[in-house]
């Protein structure tokens, strides 16, 4: 989390009905559209990302409506539970967490739904629990190919600000995001990026709602305001985070994450370990989940013991395996305010941790990651050659 | 907003599943109970106070349930609109905004509801829009006297941390608060203080809910955690604000607010102006709304013009009159991190502003406020006499 | 001390030999010239203001040189002691601390010095200990009228950023300032503003010096650097403080201080108390020293008891009387980040403190100060009439 | 520079004559003694470290006194120049910057000074420009062996807080330090740690001094105060930095620096590069200077080109070679708030930079550094064996 963002937030809260706030409000609403790559409105809530999931559904659906969810990992499952509690009928395509949502399967499912009982399809773009991404554009094409009117809901919580997410181009109806991942901010803001079709659906949706109701918010947003007290200081931070992302340039931000992800995978492979994600086209640029090796009895060594040892010895916290893969994986985050050298520190901590913990592995991960980064530089130099200082 | 609170919030967000967070979580949950003067659980949401209103209702009521609301001012009306949108049937006791909720009227209303269609009574403890408080304990007694099973919902948004609010002693079922008033914090946290009866009601309540659902939160709270990402940095601020309040001592905090409110009213009276609140027993210790004088045609002079002139000349922002009293009142906030001398600066700005704007008034408000504060000191000295330095 | 300045200082220290520092260095050196209203160089030291006194003398004088000092108050005496310790021969014009340096007396003294043994005349522009200013331009004219070659040294420690100080126009040779008064900064920076004559004197001056040596610093300053490690973070603060002063406009800053000083004196007079400064043309715009009334035995009431009582009751710290006037005066600072309403809070604290302490006085000081501020507004309005909102 | 220290400094400056400051003053003076490992007083100046050099000399010596300086590197030479300008007679033992002060040579020099013209011996404990330390205790023994009464002056600017410096045990008379190295603070404070002999010398020393005069400062320090305005906000930072160092434990802090220095040297050796420091017993734990390889014509490759390329590509700033070794070395700082993983990031940046710049070198430096750190762990485990998690 960059100090610049934290400091932007620790100023006194301005009057949320005054002209200074109005300027802030208009700016952050425009920033949000730029982030989601959309011309449609983006709604910002004082809420965690979970509230964004709820808002997307209650604004567009009616009690009992069917929604198709895809089990890409832990967060897809949580979203399903939330939908169940809201009184929706969820249908889950199950999966082993090692690949993204399969458009073919979705298309088949929707073709079978001849009565169009299914009102929405929910997909997680970047599964933080597995390091697997789903091809959102392909899911859209699958829905269209099935000539199905269902809305497309996308969890972009850990994509926004880290991975290339194209709301309009991909034809997403409601995208959900939070402040605490690629935006390098504390949690406390949730986002809904809309489409014309989603707005239209909201007019006839019957789920009760007030706090999450888009209409009143959108009306107030026209003038840069909110119908109720916004989380002004988090908006300060959001504004600053957007400035940082736009100063670097979104395409450079995305390329940086991909370069770091590739170097991370080079290290994992050099260690002789396996990624949880099985399909290279679905590797996440934001997080890499690594499977622990198995012992002679075919049982996974305990990832949490390794994580604990690395935390104690190097004061570095790796992501834990959640629910289905608990204890079997550790996760390396490489999103946000992260650069080549901080990644090298991270990978060195893991390499030393693997050794100190006695995990069977091969050394050379950091070296492989350095080679990967240098290769990335030379790939760029092929286009834009730079003179070497020496030799 | 004290710098101490702002600075507490600008630290990197810790892992909300780790042991450091756990300590924070347990502390702030205990702090919240102390603030509400309750032994029942308090639920904390990443949300604005409006979300707290919604949470209170969706956790305890079912579609179509009747709720009795009392029109004490702007915020009571907003709460009613929210209840309407959630599919509840609201019954409003109308009022002229110049006095608090009348327990006699509430008791009569409930006695008439022989079928107990009314499931809840909603009252705003401190109406920020009018500077009028309602006697919550008396409302409880009215419900009990009517032998009515309705739940008692209280908006304590601008009471908590400023006015003496006694959740358990007064028999409130759900109290709602936010972070941005007496807690001297930025907005972004909402609170629900519960009762056993409210918890029991939540088990059969039928309004759909997930984000606001108490149960899962209370289960996770047992260990100091939340079921979804909490607004960690706002919790840092909340923890610090509670430390400040408890260091001063809640009873001293409340007494300070009452002393400042009394001095403010002494100034208003000396100016020859009228308080919006007509009943002295209902004067708010947190905010004072002042009626502008009328011209010879009996029309109120425009409060917003005065406010604008004071803002431009003294860089001081007074509260505006909302909806029904728009343009007719200005409001003096004296809550939060406010002391005798900052109040004197505020009152001097108003006194000079009244003069510069040509409002008909009498000088001497600041002098009267100083006399009020000195009198307050001598009242204390009667009990605990202190030697004067001279004379 | 404005939060904006404090926050500007808490960033990591940049490399003081790099290009980013160079930009900062050039900016602050230009800012310093603007502050002193000079085209000559200004030297900035990591040091307290006392170091600035020493630097002024060791760069321009030789062991045993005579300097003429004027006893305007506590700080003039400290400067004299410092000069004595450096091996200079000091000649002090004594005074009762109730008026500024008398140019007539200085001229007479210099005319008597036919052998030109006196190499420098030292005057304090704004005596913080007494609230008395000296007419620096008149002192310059006195030296010139006496056709005496002595250098003119001016302590501008509490003038810079608060009072109109005109280095070039007034013909000062070395002015000394510090960071902690009108610049609204923490202490730790000292300044020497030079003249061509001072630079010329520095070439033949024989007092040993290295840290304070102008030459090496001025050479490095040409490129925005320093010959040794500068106090970079204090320079961040200085840069921000200058931005604030220049945004408001120096002439407006000076006018604001004079307006607040006049209102303060109106309060003091209304209380029936006496200013230490006896000559109205020498009233300080930055600080007002107030004499305590005397008891029937002609002894001053103890100012420090009053100060202690105000500190305890209102958490407000007034300046103490120093050495010669210890216990007899209290001082009201009205410099730096101070506005009409903070002054009213301050004066109200004193008025209530006088009453609570039993000091014989008349009420009405705050009212008189408000009248003074309103009068100041109407003086401006005579030129630039503004419509009143009402009446 | 740790955020914790920066934030400690951005609070409003307290009254430096009040009781709150007094507590701070007493604390930091005690902290300073603990840091220097001395029971003698430590004087703290608002000044850069250069001022500390000056203070040490002007308090103890008289015009024309001889001092023996040892050319260990850039800073030793700067100190000599300062002494020259103060009117002292300096005698320099020249050297090639690749080893520390030689006690044998010093002893010989002092034995030759039969008339005891030499009043002081000046040695730099840790030469930041070369990464070479000098054995201060051995220099003391050399002086004693020569039965010479000269005072021992030690530059500990980059030792304090990073390397084990033992003022009393080693018999140093005046040690000089600054705030901006091992103390992890911004520049702006200088320190003089004294001895009884130094204090005695100060009573007869004839160099003029006032700002630097120990006596008045020591008198005021008895009560926790300073005779002139101290740099209060830098003292806040110093206090916090000391807390951090003492919480970790000085011996652990020193061991951490040595461990990181050893790993750095392992990397340098693996790269096939040479340390500037030739004597392993004099390797610095705070900074390592690395010689660039030579080309076929025997000329050093340009270190500054490499530094520039690493800065541009990895946003990492390495120390430059100063004066005599300009362009021939780059310096790796590993002092202050630095840990295993930040060192790995640094070394990875250099290893990739060497490759991208085309410098002839061998890969494997980072791997060697990791092996060094793991070995260090196992050395500790030999004493305190810890169970491995696996294997």
Looking at the complex, report in whole angstroms how far the Cα of residue D7 sits from the nearest Cα belonging to chain A.
11
Instruction: Return d(Cα A180, Cα A191) in angstroms, integer.
Output: 11
Q: Is D96 exposed, middle or buried (0-12, 13-18, 19+ CB in 10 A)?
A: exposed
C-alpha distances (whole Å) from A242 to each of A353, B115, C252 are: 35, 56, 36
Which of B191, B190, B150, B157 is closest to B173 using CA atoms?
B150
Which of residues B183 and B388 earns the better pLDDT score? B183
Q: Identify the closest residue of chain A to B44 by CA–CA distance.
A: A47
pLDDT band at A3 (very low <50, low <70, confident <90, very high): confident
**Cβ proximity of B231 and B44 under 8 Å:** no
Q: Is D245 left (phi over 0), alpha (psi -120 to 50) or beta?
A: alpha
Contact D50 C211 (CB under 8 A): yes
CB contact at 8 A, A375 and D350: no
Mean pLDDT of B229-242: 96
What is the spatial distance between Cα D196 and Cα A276, in angstroms, rounded to a whole number? 68
User: Residue D342's CB: how many other CB atoms inside 10 A?
Assistant: 15
Rounded to 10 degrees, the C-alpha dihedral A267/A273/A278/A284 comes to -30
Do A301 and D348 lie within an 8 Å CB cutoff? no
Closest-approach residue (CA) in chain D for C18: D317
Q: CB-hemisphere CA count at 13 Å for C314?
A: 28
Q: For residue D57, which of D170, D157, D124, D154 has the smallest C-alpha distance?
A: D154
* A145 exposure class (CB count in 10 Å sphere: 0-12, 13-18, 19+): middle
Q: What is the mean pLDDT of residues D271-276?
A: 98
Query: Does residue D284 carry a pLDDT above 80?
Result: yes
**Which of residues 74 through 113 in chain A touch B, CB cutoff 8 A?**
78, 81-82, 85-87
Of A13, A46, A85, the CB nearest to B47: A46
- Cβ-in-10-Å burial (0-12, 13-18, 19+) of B24 comes to buried
Chain A residues within an 8 Å CB radius of B331? none
What does the alpha-carbon distance between residue B144 and residue B110 come to, in Å, rounded to a whole number? 10
Q: Look at the block and give the residue holding tokens 């993983």.
A: D341
Helix ranges, chain C (H): 3-9, 19-36, 49-58, 74-85, 103-112, 136-145, 167-170, 196-204, 214-221, 232-248, 250-270, 303-314, 340-357, 365-383
Pick B363's closest partner by Cβ from C339, C363, C367.
C367
**C:310-349 residues touching chain B, CB 8 A cutoff:** 313-316, 339-342, 344-346, 348-349
Residue C105 CA to residue C309 CA, distance in Å, equals 41
CA-CA-CA-CA dihedral for B213, B218, B224, B229, to nearest 10: -10
Residue contacts between C and D (CB atoms, under 8 Å):
138
Closest-CA distance of chain B to residue A30, Å: 21
pLDDT band at A10 (very low <50, low <70, confident <90, very high): confident
Q: For residue C133, what is the enclosing H or E element?
A: strand C132-133
Chain B positions touching A211 (Cβ under 8 A) are: 47, 50-51, 54, 82
Cα separation, D227 vs D218, in Å, equals 9
Inter-chain touch A208–B320, beta carbons under 8 Å: no
Nearest by CB to residue A54, choosing from B81, B86, B211, is B211
**CA–CA separation, A14 vs B287, rounded Å?**
18
Please report the beta strands in chain A, taking only residues with DSSP state E, as ranges in sequence order: 42-46, 66-70, 89-93, 118-124, 126-127, 132-133, 151-155, 174-178, 189-193, 274-275, 287-291, 319-320, 329-333
pLDDT for D388 equals 52
- State the maximum Cα–Cα separation within chain D, in Å, rounded to a whole number: 71
pLDDT tens per residue across span C12-66:
899 898 899 999 999 999 999 999 999 999 999 999 999 999 999 999 999 999 9
3-state helix, strand, coil in chain C (%, to 5): 45, 15, 40
Structure confidence at residue A11 as a pLDDT band (50, 70, 90): confident
| Residues of B whose CB is below 8 A from A188 | 46, 188, 231, 233-234
Contact criterion met (CB < 8 Å) for C211 and D47:
yes
The pLDDT score that the predictor gives to residue D384 is 46
Q: Please, what is the average pLDDT of chain A? A: 95
CA–CA separation, D122 vs B364, rounded Å? 71
Closest CA to D285 of D199, D343, D229: D343
pLDDT band at D178 (very low <50, low <70, confident <90, very high): very high
How far apart, in Å, are the Cα atoms of A108 and each of A77, A103, D104?
21, 9, 89
Q: Could you say which of C10, C180, C232 has the minimum Cβ distance to residue D7? A: C10
Q: Are the beta carbons of D356 and A364 separated by less than 8 Å?
A: no
In what order do the strands lie in the sheet containing D319-320? D274-275, D287-291, D329-333, D319-320
Partner-chain residue, chosen from C348, C360, C363, that has the shortest CB–CB distance to B344: C348
Examine the pLDDT at C383 and tell me if it is beyond 70: no
- Residue D339 is nearest to which of A315, A346, A355, comparing CB atoms? A315
Element (H, E) at B333: strand B329-333
Q: Say which of B341, B360, B364 has its CB closest to residue C314.
A: B341
Judging contacts by C-beta atoms under 8 Å, the chain C residues touching residue B358 are 388-391
For the segment A10-28, the average pLDDT, to the nearest whole number, is 93
Indicate the pLDDT class of residue A385, thresholds 50, 70 and 90.
very low
Residue range B207-221: mean pLDDT, rounded: 97
Judged against a pLDDT cut of 50, whether residue C385 lies above it is answered with no
Residue of B nearest to A187 (CA): B231
φ, ψ at D96 (rounded to 5°): -95, 10
Q: pLDDT band at residue C79, thresholds of 50, 70 and 90?
A: very high
- The pLDDT confidence band at residue D387, using thresholds 50, 70 and 90, is very low
Cβ contact C128:C72 at 8 Å:
no
Q: E strands along A305-375, which residues?
A: 319-320, 329-333
Give the other-Cβ count within 10 Å of D266's Cβ.
Answer: 22
Strand partners, D301: none
Number of H-type helices and E-type strands within chain A: 14, 13
Contact B177, B124 (CB under 8 A): no
Q: What is the CA radius of gyration of chain A?
A: 22
CA atoms of B188 and A379, how far apart (whole Å): 46
**Tokens standing for residue D198:** 């130094």
* pTM score over 0.95: no
B368 and B266 in contact (C-beta within 8 Å)? yes
Query: Rounded distance, CA C364 to CA C271, Å?
Result: 7
Exposed, middle or buried: residue B4 (CB in 10 Å: 0-12, 13-18, 19+)? middle
Long-range contacts of A8-11 (CB under 8 A, 24+ apart): A8/A236, A8/A237, A8/A239, A8/A240, A9/A186, A9/A233, A9/A234, A9/A236, A9/A237, A9/A240, A9/B9, A9/B10, A9/B233, A10/A233, A10/B6, A10/B7, A10/B9, A10/B10, A11/A233, A11/A236, A11/B6
DSSP string, D59-95: TT--TT-EEEEE--SHHHHHHHHHHHHTT-EEEEE--
Structure-token pair, residue A126: 């970047």
| Pair A247, A199: CB distance under 8 Å | no
- Which residues in chain B touch residue C364, judged by CB atoms under 8 angstroms apart? 367
Tens digits of residue pLDDT in C226-281 = 999 999 999 999 999 999 999 999 999 999 999 999 999 999 999 999 999 999 99
Is the pLDDT at D386 greater than 70? The verdict is no
The answer, for D375 touching chain A at a CB cutoff of 8 Å, is no
The predicted-structure confidence for C169-211, as pLDDT tens digits, reads as follows 999 999 999 998 889 999 999 999 999 999 999 999 999 999 9
Task: Judge whether A302 is closer than 8 Å to chain B, CB to CB.
Answer: no
């Amino acid at each position: 989390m960059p100090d610049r963002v934290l400091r932007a937030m620790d100023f006194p809260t301005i009057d949320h009905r005054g002209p200074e706030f109005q300027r802030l409000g208009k700016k952050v609403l425009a920033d949000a559209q730029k982030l989601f790559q959309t011309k449609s409105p983006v709604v910002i809530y004082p809420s965690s990302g979970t509230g964004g999931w709820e808002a997307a559904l209650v604004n567009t659906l009616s009690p009992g409506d069917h929604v198709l969810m895809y089990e890409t990992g832990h967060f897809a499952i949580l979203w399903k539970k939330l939908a169940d509690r809201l009184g929706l009928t969820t249908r889950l395509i199950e999966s082993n967490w090692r690949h993204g949502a399969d458009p073919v399967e979705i298309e088949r499912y929707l073709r079978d739904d001849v009565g169009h009982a299914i009102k929405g399809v929910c997909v997680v773009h970047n599964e933080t629990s597995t390091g697997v991404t789903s091809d959102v554009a392909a899911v859209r094409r699958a829905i269209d190919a099935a000539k199905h009117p269902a809305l497309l809901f996308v969890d972009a919580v850990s994509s926004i600000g880290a991975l290339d997410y194209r709301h309009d181009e991909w034809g997403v109806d409601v995208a959900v995001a939070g402040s605490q991942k690629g935006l390098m901010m504390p949690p406390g803001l949730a986002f809904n990026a809309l489409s014309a079709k989603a707005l239209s659906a909201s007019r006839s949706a019957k789920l009760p709602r007030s706090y999450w109701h888009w209409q009143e918010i959108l009306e107030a947003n026209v003038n840069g305001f909110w119908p109720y007290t916004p989380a002004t200081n988090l908006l300060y931070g959001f504004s600053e985070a957007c400035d940082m992302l736009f100063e670097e340039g979104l395409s450079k931000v995305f390329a940086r994450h991909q370069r770091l992800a590739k170097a991370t995978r080079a290290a994992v492979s050099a260690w002789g370990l396996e990624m949880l994600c099985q399909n290279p086209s679905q590797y996440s640029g934001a997080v890499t989940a690594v499977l622990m090796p198995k012992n002679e009895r075919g049982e996974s060594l305990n990832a949490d013991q390794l994580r604990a040892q690395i935390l104690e010895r190097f004061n570095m916290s790796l992501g834990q395996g959640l629910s289905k893969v608990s204890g079997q994986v550790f996760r390396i985050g490489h999103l946000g305010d992260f650069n080549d050298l901080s990644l090298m520190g991270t990978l060195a901590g893991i390499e030393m941790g693997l050794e100190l913990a006695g995990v069977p592995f091969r050394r050379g991960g950091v070296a492989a990651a350095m080679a990967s980064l240098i290769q990335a530089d030379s790939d760029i130099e092929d286009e834009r050659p730079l003179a070497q200082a020496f030799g």
